[in-house]
Structure formats: C-alpha cells, structure tokens
C-alpha cells in the first residue's frame, strides 16, 4: 500500500480529521476529506493551510511543498465518493458510538473488501464500533494524538476480530507517513497511552486535594524533574536501569499510599460543578488570564515544532 500511495480517505474534518488529512497529504498521498458539513470542510482546508504555513515559518518545509500538499486534498460531503476508491480510511467523526457504528456499516458496504478501515476514537471500544459491519477483520483503531501533524505516536489497536494483516498494513502506512505507530494488542479503555497519562493525572489531582502541594508545584515537580528525562528514559527502561529489586522495594513501601480511587476526584467534580473549567473560564486548578492561556498553547506548539525540527536535523546529519 505504501509504495504506490493509493488514495486515503478521512471521514470527519474537525480538529483531528483535518490534521490527519494534512499528515497524509504532506507525505504524498491523495486524500479525500469528507464531512457532513461543507463549512467544516472549508475550515479544515484553511486550518491545514495555516498549519503548513506555520511550519514553513519555523523552517520546516517550503512554499512549494505546501502547495503540493494542498493540491492532494479533495473535499466532499459525500461519504461514498470519498471512501469508495480508498485503500485506507480513517474515521474522525464525533465521539458518539451509534454515529461511529453507522459510519462503519456504510464504509464496510461501500469500500472494496481489501480497504483498511480505521477509527480514531480516543476512548470507545473499537470492537463495538465495528459491530454493525460485516468484514470486521479489516477494522482497526488508529489513535492519533493532537496535534496529529506534530505528535509522532499513533496507537494501532487490535479489536476482537482485527486480523494480523490489517494490523501490519496499518502499521506500514503510518510508518511510511512519518508517524511512530505502536501495536496495542487488546482493545481496552484508554489503550496504552491514556491509561498511563491518566494514572499520572489521578495522582497529580489527589496530591493537590490532600494539600500535599499546590497545582503549580505538582507541575514543577514533573517539568523540572523526571519529566525532563522521560523522552529518553521512560518507566520500563528506567525500572531496569535502577534494578527490579529496588523497584520492588519502592513499590512495597509506596503503593499503599498512592491514589487508587476508581472514581474521579471529588475536588475535580466540585470545580466542574462550580464552573471552574480551566482556560475557557479563566480558572481551573489555577487562575488563567486569556494571555496566559494563549502563551501556554504557544509554548506547547513551539516546543513540539522544536522537537520535530531537531529530529529532522538528526536525520539529515545521519542521511
Ligand atoms: N480532540 C482530540 O484531542 C482527540 C485526540 C484523539 C482522538 N480524538 C477523537 O477523534 C475523533 C474526532 O475528534 P475531533 O476532536 O476532531 O472532533 P471535532 O468535533 O473537531 O470534529 C468532528 C467532525 O465530524 C463531523 N461529522 C459528524 N458526523 C459526521 C458524519 N456522519 N460523517 C462525516 N462527518 C461527520 C463534524 O461535522 C465535525 O466536523 C473523536 O472520535 C475523538 O474522540 C480526538
């Protein structure tokens, strides 16, 4: 699939769908982007243009490559037109089970039997999303992260009936598109990365709730401490590095003291009930002016672009 650059279709042109269309179009695939809303399609193309221009400003890519990528994207409100000739389809509609089930039933009926059908659901069961389709063996999860054109990871999730061939073809096309696909062998809530992420968030919120440290301090402990080494030394390698004997004795001591509640934190619930929702209301765990909120978003983008530019520089030096 990867060598011939067979057509890709992206269903749903919101935040994720537009970013995923951008990934494939930049990589040289013809992309059909579909949405029920013509307005959403227009916004998506504008957004992709803005993202690509931003990358050029930061030294990634050039005007000519932007024009070629945009020229590879076609837009339509007709699902069959978008997906009927595609070799790989990524669904990115609203996170709604019956909507997704219906989209997959239709995709299954209108795509050739060899087309791989992927869902970008963040949390829902892929096995359930596939349940109204007939050829469920070609349905797979591809969990991209936001922004999909900057975050390399895509979790490729095996649903109950996904075949090894579907997993392999999905991994191959994502790798060819410059992503970092990983195989998740069980269709479980949170897949791998959100389970890890929210285990950390649960403890972070619990520390604030128990008055051990305030929210800013919790983040400082990560940003200036173990967060710095995470990109090069993550927990499984770190455990081997310090020794499993030491890891066992630390866990013997500390695990009984860590948050283990199966419910969201009462502090989190209370903040939501009082309308303290974070950046969008000016107050969450901390206070935020509009300028501070924007600075935080800008910092993240600048950081991610810097990481990608660094990696491209490494590849250039290696190649
Ligand atoms: N936002 C994130 O950070 C993120 C991260 C990973 C995965 N996801 C998942 O990606 C999917 C899309 O999320 P998003 O944030 O891009 O949502 P979004 O609200 O930005 O976009 C969804 C789009 O789907 C379109 N749509 C609705 N029904 C449709 C249909 N029947 N056919 C075609 N298009 C339809 C809408 O018009 C809208 O443009 C969801 O499953 C979400 O859980 C989101």
Which tens digit of pLDDT belongs to each residue from 132-169?
999 999 999 999 999 999 999 999 999 999 999 999 99
Whether residue 100 contacts residue 124, with contact meaning beta carbons closer than 8 Å, is answered with: yes
CATH T-level fold of 8-184: Rossmann fold (3.40.50)
* Res 114: pLDDT: 96
Pocket test for ligand 1, best of 17, 106, 154, 179 (most atoms within 8 A of CB): 17
* Res 17: pLDDT: 98
Ligand 1 centroid – CA 63 distance (Å): 29
Q: Domain segments of the chain: what residues? A: 8-184, 193-263
Tell me the pTM.
0.95
* Res 128: pLDDT: 98
Pocket test for ligand 1, best of 9, 11, 12 (most atoms within 8 A of CB): 12
Which tens digit of pLDDT belongs to each residue from 171-220?
999 999 999 999 999 999 999 999 999 999 999 999 999 999 999 999 99
* Res 318: pLDDT: 67
Which of the residues 194, 209, 265, 312 is marked catalytic? Answer: 194
CATH code for the domain defined by 193-263: 1.10.1040.10
* Res 303: pLDDT: 95
Please give the average per-residue pLDDT across 295-301, as a whole number.
96
**Residue 4: pLDDT band with limits 50, 70, 90:** low
pLDDT mean across residues, the chain: 96
Q: Beta strand 153-157 with 139-144: parallel, antiparallel or unpaired?
A: antiparallel
Please give the average per-residue pLDDT across 50-61, as a whole number.
93
Q: Which ligand 1 atom is nearest residue 34's CA? A: 33
């Amino acid at each position: 699939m990867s060598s011939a650059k067979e057509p890709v279709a992206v269903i749903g042109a919101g935040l994720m769908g537009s970013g995923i269309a951008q990934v494939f179009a930049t990589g040289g695939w013809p992309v059909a982007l579909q949405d029920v809303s013509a307005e959403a399609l227009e916004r998506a193309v504008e957004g992709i243009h803005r993202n690509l221009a931003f990358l050029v400003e930061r030294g990634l890519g050039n005007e000519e490559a932007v024009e070629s990528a945009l020229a590879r994207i076609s837009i339509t409100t007709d699902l069959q037109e978008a997906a009927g000739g595609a070799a790989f389809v990524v669904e990115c509609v609203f996170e709604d089970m019956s909507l997704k089930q219906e989209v997959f039933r239709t995709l299954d009926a209108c795509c050739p039997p060899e087309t791989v059908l992927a869902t970008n659901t963040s949390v829902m069961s892929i096995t359930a999303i596939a349940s109204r389709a007939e050829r469920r063996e070609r349905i797979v999860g591809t969990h991209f992260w936001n922004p999909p054109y900057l975050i390399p990871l895509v979790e490729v999730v095996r649903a109950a009936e996904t075949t090894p061939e579907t997993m392999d073809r999905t991994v191959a096309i994502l790798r060819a598109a410059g992503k970092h696909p990983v195989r998740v062998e069980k269709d479980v809530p949170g897949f791998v990365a959100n389970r890890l992420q929210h285990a950390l968030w649960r403890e972070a919120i619990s520390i604030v709730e128990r008055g051990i440290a305030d929210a800013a301090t919790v983040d400082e402990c990560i940003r200036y401490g173990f967060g710095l080494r995470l990109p090069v030394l993550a927990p499984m390698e770190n455990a081997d590095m310090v020794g499993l004997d030491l890891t066992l004795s630390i866990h013997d001591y500390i695990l009984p003291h860590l948050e283990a509640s199966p419910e969201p934190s009462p502090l989190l619930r209370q903040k939501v009930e009082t309308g303290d929702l974070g950046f969008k209301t000016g107050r969450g765990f901390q206070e935020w002016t509009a300028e501070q909120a924007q600075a935080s978003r800008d910092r993240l983008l600048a950081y991610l672009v810097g990481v990608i530019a660094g990696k491209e520089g490494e590849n250039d030096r290696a190649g």
